[in-house]
Chains A and B, each alone.
Chain A
Amino acid sequence: MPRTSIIPFGPQHPAFLEPLHLKLQLEEERVVGVEPSLGYNHRGMEYAMEKDWKRNFFLSERVCGICSFHHSTTYSQAMEAMTGTQAPERARLIRIIMLEVQRVTSHTLALGHMAEAMGYENLFMQFFREREEFMRVANEVSGNRVHYCMNWLGGVRRDIAPELAKSIEQRMDATQGRLEELAKVVRKDSTWLKRTKGVGVLSKRQAETWAVVGPVARASGLSYDVRQSGNAAYAMDGTKFKPVWREEGDTWARCMVRMDETLQSVALIRQGLGLLREGPIESKFKGNPTGEGFSRDEAPRGELMYWVKANGTSSLDRVKVRTPAFMNIPPLGEMLMNEQFANVPVIVVSVDPCICCTDR
Chain B
Amino acid sequence: MSGPHYIKPDTLSLHAGQRPDPVHGARAVPIYQTTSYVFDDTDQAAALFNLERAGHLYSRISNPTTAVLEERIAALEGGVGAICTASGQAALSLAVMTLMDAGSHIVSSQSIYGGSHNLFAHTLPRFGIETSFVNPRDPQAFAAAIKPNTRLLFAETLGNPGLEVPDMEAISQIAHDQGLPLMIDNTFATPYLCRPLEWGADLVHQSITKFMGGHGIAIGGAIVDGGRFDWEASGKFPTLTEPYAGYHGIDYVEEFGPQAFIMRARTEGLRDFGACLSPTNAFHILQGIETLPVRMARHVENARAIVAFLNDHETVEWVTWPELPEHPDHELAARMLPKGPGAIFSFGIKGGRAAGKRFIEGLRLFSHLANVGDAKSLVIHPGSTTHQQMDAESMKAAGITEGLVRLSVGLEDIDDLRDDLANALKASQRGA
Binding partners A and B:
no
- Chain B contacts to A: CB under 8 angstroms: none
- Chain A contacts to B: CB under 8 angstroms: none
